Structure formats: C-alpha cells, structure tokens
Amino acid sequence: MNETKILLSERDIPQHWYNIVADMPNKPLPPLHPATHEPIGPDALAPLFPAGLIAQEVSGERWIEIPDEVRDIYALWRPTPMFRAHRLEKALDTPAKIFYKYEGVSPAGSHKPNTAVAQAWYNKEEGVTRITTETGAGQWGSALAFACQLFGIKCEVYMVRISYDQKPYRKLMMNTWKADVFPSPSDRTETGRKILAENPDSPGSLGIAISEAVEVAAKNEDARYALGSVLNHVLLHQTVIGQEALTQMEMAGEFPDIIVAPFGGGSNFAGIAFPFLHHNLTKGRSVRAIAAEPTACPKLTRGVFRYDFGDTAGMTPLLPMYTLGHDFVPAAIHAGGLRYHGAGVLVSQLLKDKLIEAQAVDQIDSFEAGVTFARAEGIIPAPEANHGIAVALREAEIAKEEGVSKTILINLCGHGNFDMASYEAYFAGKLGRLSLSQDDINTAVGKINTPEIAG
C-alpha cells in the first residue's frame, strides 16, 4: 500500500498566520455599536480583549508573525498529520482520492488550542492574569484551560448548566488543567443572579454563558474575555492548519479539487480553507471550499446576510453575518459546536461573494458517515467532524457517478472520545431527521430587527 500519513517536522510549523482580508475583493463591513448602530473602532473592544488581539481583529496585513513562544507550544502537537484515506476510498469504491488533516492530536482533542494558545499568549504579554470564557459541550473551554495553564493565567469557564451536569468529563479535563468551571447561570454575575431569581432551575444556554463571561471580564481590570470562533483573529490563528495542509498536499503530489470542513462559527473551516483560497484569489487556482453545516442550524444555506449580534442577549457589537437571528434556538443536536445562529464575518462575506460554498447535512446522515469513516480509518470523529465527512462522502459519490477522480481534503477537527453518548443515541435509533420547514426559517428570520445590509 502507498503512504498513509504525510508528516512534517517541527521546522515546518508555519511562521505566520494568513490574513485573508488582504486578498478579499470585498473587504468585511465594520462592526456596529449595539445601541447606536454606528460603526465602531478598535477602542470599543479594549475592555474585553488585549491590544495585540484587537490589532489582529482589524488588520489588513496578509501575513502576521507567530510569536516564538506560541510556536514552541504548537510543537506539543503540531504539525498535525495528514492521512490519505486509502481504506475509506476502498470501502466507498470511489475513484476520488480522499485526504484528511487530523487536528484531534492536540491535548484537548480538537483544533481549538491553535487559537487558545495564541489568545492566552497575547493576554499574558499585556499582563492579564485572568481570562473568562463560556463553553457548551466543553471543547473550547478545555482548549482555553490547557492554554492558560501553560502561561500561568487563571481561567474561568462558564459552562452551560445542562452540559455541566450531563457531561462531567470535559469539566474534569478543564479542572485537571487548573481551570475553575462554573455552571451557568451562576450566582457570580448580575446576569446569572437575575436569571436564577426568575428560574432557579434554568438549564442555561450559550447566550447566557457568554453574557456571564463578558460581564466578569468587563467589570474586572485584571480580566479579559476569550472567544473560540467567529471573530477575525480567531479564524486567523487557525490558518496554521491550511498552511501545513498545503505543504502536505504538495508532498503527496496533489492539490485538492474540494476542501470540506464542518461549520459552527467558522474557525475550523477558515483554518483549512483560507490558505487554499489564497491560491484561488491570487494564483489562479479554483479549489472548491465547502462548509458543512447541520440542517438543524442552516445559517449559511438558508439564513440571511445582515447585521446581527454575536450573543443571544444582544450585548456584543453588531456583525455583518449570515444568520438565523440571534435568538434562534437550534434543536439539541449532539454536534454542540455547530449550534450557533451566525457565521463569522470573513466567511460570511466570502459566501456572499460566492467564493466559497455551503451544504447542510442532517444529523443522521452525519453519524452514518462518521461510522463509515471510523470503521475504515479507525479514528472515531467528533459529531461536528462527521458533518464534513458526510459532505466529502457525497462528493466522492458524485465523482464515482461521473467517473472522474477528484481530490478531496477533509478537515477532521477532532476526535469523539468525549462524545460516545451521541453515537449511542445514533445506534439506538434515537435520533430524528431535523430539517426546518420554510415556515420555520421565515419565522426565525422575520424576527430579526437588527440593521440590514444594502445590496
């Protein structure tokens, strides 16, 4: 059999992050003040983020140097391996060549530490001693806990109450890395106390947890806030994935026709796709980059492009994004990382400009694809990752029908070791199909009262 893994050495860890803003034909629109709806500048973000990250958030520079100390920590798991999925190709009997880049080798088990380490470093550089964040199922919270521990920063995680109770292992992982984890709503914030007063048994939500984490950061000079996706600087940090993948594809003598990645807020999609889009935008390439979202939360395929809040409560700046409305509540699919109402600004603009594509995947199809993958390749993927695999399998099937050999690259963003209960539900036939009706979509979108975008 031919080579299975394409491996790089530590010397190949990228030296720069790639900022796609420099190459975008239409630059992203500015964020707006949540109350005045006027464009806001970098200063407005200062209570929440260190200056180094704000500078990246608004930068137009194409390449931004990665600090040595961040690259040293990346070396704990980077460069990540790329695999040629020989066994999966055989199982599918497809002429397509399928590759996957595997981010599950990080200590936290997903791509999230790529930005968590960078964010922790910029905070440390500016004397921040405490970082707050929210987490749902726990992938992001554990990545930030890991990163903060390496720099001696106190990490405070507001974890959605129902996940806190039902999924203790991610919480324990955060504790092992010394983070303090609080069930949200908590009595530590005004937001939390207000909600608990109304409903002492509140199961919490990501929107509430964001509000709590933001409140603590805003009110404490020593503290800052960190977000795991959506924002420009978060997507930026993930581009180490795609840069490595470019080198690895070259070593394999290939260039992908299609790249697929699951889509929640956009960070892991951007991470693999943007460095290849650089070749589309500046070097005449034409790789198709496909974002795979759940049919239960189809903001890219069925949402609208307009200004909306990043959180449920409407505390964040208004961002120009594809959205289903900031109070849209997706069905409780197991791919918790994809249950977000909106899409990151950069990805939204690229989709608007038809420079990327999106496809929706039902949860049942996603698990079917994930199980097919696990039985062929060994790795049991996270439920989020299964969405990307499902789209790859679709495209491989099309290649087979057309009798052409396509090269498909999947971003396998994490393992499913903490998600086996979701596989249990799938095997037990407890999952239903979750397509939204056009009425559901109209109702959700119709409620949005934030500013529209002209054109």
- Peptide linkage before 34 cis (omega within 30 of 0): no
Alpha-carbon distance values, 218 to 44, 152, 196, 212 (Å): 12, 21, 21, 10
Say how far apart CA 117 and CA 245 lie, in whole Å. 20
Neighbours of 439 (CB within 10 A): 8
How many angstroms separate the CA atoms of 393 and 297, rounded? 21
Closer CB to its own copies, 92 or 343, in the complex: 92
Q: In the complex, what is the shortest distance from the CB of residue 246 to its own copies, in angstroms, rounded to a whole number?
A: 19
The residue within the footprint of its own copies, chosen from 379, 396, 408, 436 (CB under 8 A), is 379
Q: Does 76 bind its own copies (CB under 8 A)?
A: yes
- Write the binding mask 380 to 419 for its own copies: x where contact by CB under 8 A, - elsewhere: x----------------------------------x-xx-
Q: Tell whether residue 63 is a contact of its own copies (CB under 8 A).
A: no
Q: Report DSSP letters for 312-341, one per residue.
A: TTS-SPEEEEEES-TT------S-GGG--S
Q: In whole angstroms, how large is the CA radius of gyration of the chain?
A: 21
Query: Minimum distance from CB of 426 to its own copies (Å)?
Result: 9
Looking at the Cβ atoms of 173 and 272, the one nearer to its own copies is 173
Q: Which of 92, 137, 150, 321 binds its own copies (CB under 8 A)?
A: 150
The mark string for 84-123 relative to its own copies (x by CB under 8 A, - otherwise) is ---x-----------------xxxxx--------------
Give the one residue of 26, 166, 176, 405 binding its own copies; rule: CB under 8 A: 176
| H/E segment holding residue 306 | strand 304-309
CB–CB of 54/42 below 8 Å? yes
Closest approach, Cβ 352 to its own copies, in A, equals 38
Residues 421-450 interacting with its own copies (rule: CB under 8 A): 421, 423-424, 427
CB 223 within 8 A of CB 130: yes
Binds its own copies by CB under 8 A, chosen from 59, 129, 175, 301: 175
Q: Which of 9, 199, 286, 437 binds its own copies (CB under 8 A)?
A: 9
Instruction: Give residue 188's identity as a one-letter amino acid code.
Output: R
Instruction: Choose the stretch contacting its own copies; rule: CB under 8 A; options: 45-53, 68-76, 223-231, 302-310.
Output: 68-76
Check if the beta carbon of residue 208 is closer than 8 Å to that of residue 236: no
State both tokens at 292. 């795979």
Query: Which is nearest to 206 in space by CA: 164, 249, 267?
Result: 164
Query: Can you give the binding site for its own copies, defined by CB under 8 A?
Result: 1, 3-5, 7, 9-10, 72, 75-77, 83, 87, 105-109, 146, 149-150, 168-169, 172-173, 175-178, 371, 374-375, 377-380, 415, 417-418, 420-421, 423-424, 427
